[in-house]
Structure 1
Amino acid sequence: MSDVLLARAAQWGGVLSSADAAVVGVDRNGLRSLLKAGSVVKVAPRAYVLASALERVTTPEARHRLSTLAILRSFGERVAASHHSALALHGLPFWRVDPEVFHVSRITGRSGRKRGTLHIHESVGRTNLVVFRQSGAVATSPTLAVIGTAMADGVEAGIVAMDAASHRGLTSADLLESTLTAMTHVPDISRARQAFSLVDPSSESVGETRTRLILQAMPGSPRVVPQQVIHDRSGREVARVDFLVGTHVVVEFDGRMKYGMSGNRAEEDLWREKRREDALRELGYVVIRLVWSDLDRPDQVTQRVLAALRQTEGRTTLAGVRG
């Protein structure tokens, strides 16, 4: 019967519950055998994921999504994914969240509690819920998910989530603000309010959001303009840069691990990027390129940018900028 259960779990997207096991005659001892054999992984009480399904995903968000789907299945239709667990279902990125902690909110009932790494929150209104057609899973809306992430995981986690959701059109400043106003007396809502005050929908990735936060925290508060279009003297567009700091310092975030991925395409990209940066430098700009590892050393990034600002003081540009 275990083979039947595993086959059905594969059809369900790689997740199953203890109730699913019971239907096909697999009891607790049978589940323990599957766990011991490494065929399934237990992610919460009564919730399991096929080990083979977990092996096929590589990101924390994707692994968390699978586990969250298993947890939802174990509850039937009584809970919805919430907080950063809802982010995973909405395809939004994580930053500074614990992917081994799961959040659900009751659809019926009011009490909240914790079961180890599973946090069960009080119920939310059905108007704040989204049903995913393919999986049938239920989650809180993107707006409530990003607010909940800030409340549970902190301001920086909330900013990254709000930036991503706003950039993808899953929420808006008006919707975030009205929801925050309605939640005035909810504990920890101040974290979400602080995150909201720093949101910028123009950020296209977690790396850009983190870069912006570093630049905005620099001493002297230099002007930081994201997604700035730069033209030459004739009005021809030269580049859209991630950030223009002051008047002559361009900061670019490169989210690729390295240029040489494979084949001629990577070489073409590298050559195109080099020509673009050469054109910016010819127009009087200093270009600073950041990668993921740089963002873990914000003090060093700050020093590099401040040095570039000092280097370009009083410089006259040969280009123009437009928003």
Structure 2
Amino acid sequence: MPSFDLASLGGVPIFSTAVAADHGMSGRTLHQLTAKDILTRLLHGWYTALAIVGDEHRHLLTALAAVAQLDERCVASHHSALVLHGLPVHQVDLRRVYLERSDRSHGRTRTGVVVRSGRSLRAEAQVEGWARPVPTVSVADACILSGAEHGATTGLVAADAALRRGLCDMTQLAAAIDRAKGYPGIEGVRAIMRHADGRHESPGETLTGVRLRATGLNFEPQVEIETRTGTYRVDFLDRERRLIAEFDGLSKYATAEDLVAEKIREDSLRALGYTIVRIVWRDLFDETAVAAKIHAALVSQQSGHTGAEVPITAPGNFPRGLAGT
């Protein structure tokens, strides 16, 4: 194997075959290093020497390569822009990078890259380890286009996070919807974006909010409740029914002390007559699970068992005036 200077490229996120040649690496050398998993081929003619950590990291590097490959004539779009801006992507195929160009020429798809024309506003993403800003569509456009392409909840998860971080506002989201007029799926995105809410602190909470709205009850996110042991913030509260819904991602219970603190918190809330319903990830992918838990809570309250965590039962019919899913 000929001599080369791999060390100098070890901290570079991506590099092309031309850059590799400047460092003494021939095409044959690149092939050999890739076969030994020393390098990773991202796109035709583009590589990285970094250790890839997960699908989103690989997608980020591939998006950088795709934009650089086209000499920034295109910008990162859809979920690729979301990844570059550090926003969550929900139920997205990360094997494909999406780009947008400003002209009206037809889009095209090459291996791993989809290029489309569009009317999106432009923005820049600051990517750690990359010397210059990366051109993207605006954050609002990325949220809306991702929702139209991959499903409305995909866009909502991203939009909630963007609102929370101050990367866009509701006016900008509405304008992005107007720019995407005529896109397949855009009307579903328009409908769900009325519920975009930066108070949701995680994708799980956003999706929990979707399921809770389907019950027809009036749940408000991130409400503080004063108790004898302190003031606690709950994920969702229906004030009229004193019904709390908590999304339980489990990551918040890292230690035994966390579990004890949570037990004290729940006991204090129940002592005030609140009923607590816990929602976990698997519930969010079952159209009836959240409704079943809420129904069980309402039945328990009507039976006089207030202030308790209730068992799960089949949803059946909600009490009069309440909608099921």
TM tier relative to shorter chain: 0.7 to 0.9
Out of 107, 113, 129, the residue aligned to residue 123 of structure 2 is 129
Q: One-letter code of the match for 1:152?
A: E
Provide the residue aligned with 1:7 in structure 2: 7
TM-superposed deviation, 1:131: 4.7
Q: One-letter code of the match for 1:170?
A: L
Provide the residue aligned with 2:234 in structure 1: 241
CA distance in structure 2 between the partners assigned to 1:164 and 1:2 by the alignment: 47
TM-superposed deviation, 1:107: 6.0
Task: Using structure 2 for the length normalisation, give the TM-score.
Answer: 0.82
Answer whether contact 2:300 2:306 (CA < 8 A) is retained: no
CA distance in structure 2 between the partners assigned to 1:257 and 1:183 by the alignment: 37
**Is 1:299 equivalent to 2:305 in the alignment?**
no
CA distance in structure 1 between the partners assigned to 2:19 and 2:44 by the alignment: 13
Equivalent pairs, count: 302
Q: One-letter code of the match for 1:77?
A: E
Provide the residue aligned with 2:59 in structure 1: 64
Provide the residue aligned with 1:113 in structure 2: 108
TM-superposed deviation, 1:184: 2.6
List per-residue Cα deviations over 1:183-223 (Å, max 9, x = no partner).
Answer: 334454324323312312211100101111111122xx122
Q: In the superposition, relative to structure 1, how do residues 316 and 37 fare at CA in structure 2: closer, same or farther (>3 Å)? A: closer
Out of 255, 265, 272, the residue aligned to residue 283 of structure 1 is 272
CA distance in structure 1 between the partners assigned to 2:43 and 2:15 by the alignment: 11
List per-residue Cα deviations over 1:253-279 (Å, max 9, x = no partner).
Answer: 1223473x3xxxx22222221111101
Answer whether contact 1:150 1:195 (CA < 8 A) is retained: no
Q: Secondary structure at the match of 1:53?
A: coil
Query: What are the ranges of 5 or more consecutive residues in structure 2 without an aligned counterpart?
Result: 308-325
Provide the residue aligned with 1:160 in structure 2: 157
List per-residue Cα deviations over 1:112-165 (Å, max 9, x = no partner).
Answer: 21013310122656x522152752222222111111111211111111111111
**Is 1:16 equivalent to 2:10 in the alignment?**
no
Q: In the superposition, relative to structure 1, how do residues 182 and 82 fare at CA in structure 2: closer, same or farther (>3 Å)? A: closer
CA distance in structure 2 between the partners assigned to 1:117 and 1:194 by the alignment: 31
Task: Using structure 1 for the length normalisation, give the TM-score.
Answer: 0.83
Q: One-letter code of the match for 1:29?
A: R
Out of 70, 74, 77, the residue aligned to residue 79 of structure 1 is 74
Answer whether contact 1:231 1:239 (CA < 8 A) is retained: yes
Where does 1:24-63 land on structure 2 (aligned, <5 Å)? 24-50=23-49, 52-54=50-52, 57-58=53-54, 60-63=55-58
Q: In the superposition, relative to structure 1, how do residues 75 and 214 fare at CA in structure 2: closer, same or farther (>3 Å)? A: same
Q: One-letter code of the match for 2:283?
A: D
TM-superposed deviation, 1:306: 0.8
Answer whether contact 2:85 2:126 (CA < 8 A) is retained: no
Q: One-letter code of the match for 1:21?
A: A
Q: One-letter code of the match for 1:95?
A: H
Where does 1:108-257 land on structure 2 (aligned, <5 Å)? 110-122=105-117, 128-132=122-126, 135=130, 136=132, 137-218=134-215, 221-231=216-226, 238-245=231-238, 247-257=241-251
Answer whether contact 1:16 1:73 (CA < 8 A) is retained: no
Aligned-pair identity in percent equals: 34
Cα-Cα RMSD: 2.8
Answer whether contact 2:104 2:117 (CA < 8 A) is retained: yes
CA distance in structure 1 between the partners assigned to 2:249 and 2:32 by the alignment: 42
CA distance in structure 1 between the partners assigned to 2:56 and 2:103 by the alignment: 27
Answer whether contact 2:248 2:278 (CA < 8 A) is retained: yes
Q: One-letter code of the match for 1:9?
A: L
Q: In the superposition, relative to structure 1, how do residues 258 and 132 fare at CA in structure 2: closer, same or farther (>3 Å)? A: closer
Provide the residue aligned with 2:311 in structure 1: none
Query: What are the ranges of 5 or more consecutive residues in structure 1 without an aligned counterpart?
Result: 319-323
Provide the residue aligned with 2:312 in structure 1: none
CA distance in structure 1 between the partners assigned to 2:64 and 2:192 by the alignment: 28
Q: One-letter code of the match for 2:246?
A: E
The structure carrying a bigger helix percent of its residues is: 1
Provide the residue aligned with 1:321 in structure 2: none
Answer whether contact 2:42 2:61 (CA < 8 A) is retained: no
Q: Secondary structure at the match of 2:220?
A: strand
TM-superposed deviation, 1:291: 2.9
